Copies of this chain bind each other. A is one copy, B any other.
Amino acid sequence: MDTHLAGSASSTRPRVLIVGCGFGGLAATRALAGAPVDITLVDRSNHHLFQPLLYQVATAGLSAPSIAAPIRHMLRRQRNVTVLMAEVSGIDKARRCVTLADGQVLGYDFLILAAGATHSYFGRDEWAAHAPGLKTLEDAFRLRARVLKAFEQAELAPDPARQAALLSFVVIGGGPTGVEMAGTLAEIAHHTLRDEFRRIDPAGARVLLLEGSERVLQALPPALSARAEQQLQGLGVEVRTGCRVVGIDAEGVDVQPDGGGAPQRIPAHTVVWAAGVAASPLGRLLEVPLDRAGRVQVDGLLGIPGHPEVFVIGDLAAAQSQEADGRTRPVPGVSPAAKQMGAHAAGSILARLRGREASLRPFRYRDYGALATIGRKAAVADLGWLQFSGYAAWLFWLFVHIYFLIGFRNRLVVLMDWAWAYWSFQRYARVVVEPAPAAGGEEGTEGKEGVSPAPHRAAGRCG
């Protein structure tokens, strides 16, 4: 019976409402397994996404299901959870309830907001159409289609200048995602597509990585940034640090060199946005102070002022870690931090339910180090006590990611796909599936661009 009553009005157990099933929301939900609470987990998608590998779906190395697991399947055995696929449209802190897009109202005794982040174009939203970001599976499919179609259109395009633009790929942002994307794009051009084209040479493709600051992978020590840059260059990526992007359109990118000078034009058909991240707009619904990135400023217990029953975790939270030395340090926007915050919030709820308020300790982020992969046999690792790069770091990165993947089946399949890709240089998910409206629009323009003013070479022999 309990099953069907879970989360229903007739139940009198405290209601925990968790919004978002990323690393943070999932960790919080699991930490409450077996607890005498009714959990309602709301997410607008039906799957938990292993975002660290999303770039591999975008670059045709993995298929979507390998990194996305159905939320309700993952949690089917946790009987105190009701999973709802829905959008949240309103939060009423005073009345302790959340409104869904379809008008339903869900009451709560505890709320954990874990809605994550999206990409930000620093107020230049018109760039979105030309430089898609990479946060959802839809984004990944759109990007995959755009990259693969760029090569297809180059093979089709009679005009050399147009071919060159089609074979120019610009990645904006030298963080982990940008570095991974640039490295993989270079690998695709130089290895994966070898021998497959007759009119163009994909190896001639140009891959640029643009970073505003003076080095890539800011989060890592300068020595590792330097190693990463060398490995990128080894893969054939042009790395440009210290240059600001001032314009993006369907034909290319305008960059401003540091210290001024005239903006320089880079003709490119495919531009990937890996620069800005902004917190989910859901944070605004709380009507509390946000930081510049739109993140909710939370206290040591990850709560908000005056509402200890409301927790904000993961990328949506601007949290401080309470260090051993008494100082505080900002918590980085990485998945281990989100998981730790989720577990901490769940722990606080359990402590309160057991009347152990006194036992509550402020959140402390445990940093197990940073990893970034660059491409085939190339990566950098910083474990704090140990820093290394190259093949060893790449293998380490590989097994860490396999280990943290959701589900045994996915671990097996991804390991197989990677082994396959390693030996064959192939990427098996090279399927263009025309995705959402955005791409539909793109289609239109591409159709236009595709028109060759000069008659095609074959025309001469026609008739």
CA distance A46 to B152 in the complex (A): 8
Name A9's contact: one of B72, B101, B460 (CB within 8 Å).
B460
**Which partner residue on chain B sits nearest A64 by CB separation?**
B431
Of A153, A416, A457, most B-chain CB atoms within 10 Å:
A457
Which residues of chain B are near A435, meaning CB under 8 Å?
433, 435-436
Interface residues of A in 443-463 (CB under 8 A from B): 447, 450-452, 455-463
Query: In angstroms, how far is the closest chain B Cβ from the Cβ of A365?
Result: 31
CA distance A409 to B196 in the complex (A): 19
Q: Given contacts A107-B462, A436-B435, A457-B9, are A102 and B63 in contact (CB under 8 A)?
A: no
Report if A198 contacts B (CB, 8 A). Answer: yes
Task: Digitize A148-168: 1 where CB-to-B-CB distance is under 8 Å, 0 elsewhere.
Answer: 110011011010000000000
Report if A334 contacts B (CB, 8 A). Answer: no
Report if A397 contacts B (CB, 8 A). Answer: no
Q: Is the CB of B65 within 8 A of A462?
A: no
CA distance A83 to B193 in the complex (A): 13
Band of interface residues on A: 35 or more
Q: Given contacts A459-B105, A462-B107, are A433 and B76 in contact (CB under 8 A)?
A: no
CA distance A408 to B9 in the complex (A): 54
**Which partner residue on chain B sits nearest A428 by CB separation?**
B65
Report if A259 contacts B (CB, 8 A). Answer: no
Name A85's contact: one of B6, B137, B156 (CB within 8 Å).
B156
Interface residues of A in 384-434 (CB under 8 A from B): 409-410, 413, 416, 420, 426, 428-434
Cβ contacts A to B, 6 pairs, < 8 Å: A8-B199, A46-B149, A83-B155, A95-B462, A141-B433, A437-B440
Q: A4-B199, A104-B459 are in contact. List 19 more A-B contacts (CB 8 A).
A: A9-B457, A9-B458, A15-B458, A46-B149, A46-B431, A47-B431, A63-B65, A65-B428, A76-B195, A84-B155, A94-B463, A97-B459, A97-B463, A102-B451, A104-B452, A104-B456, A106-B456, A410-B428, A435-B435
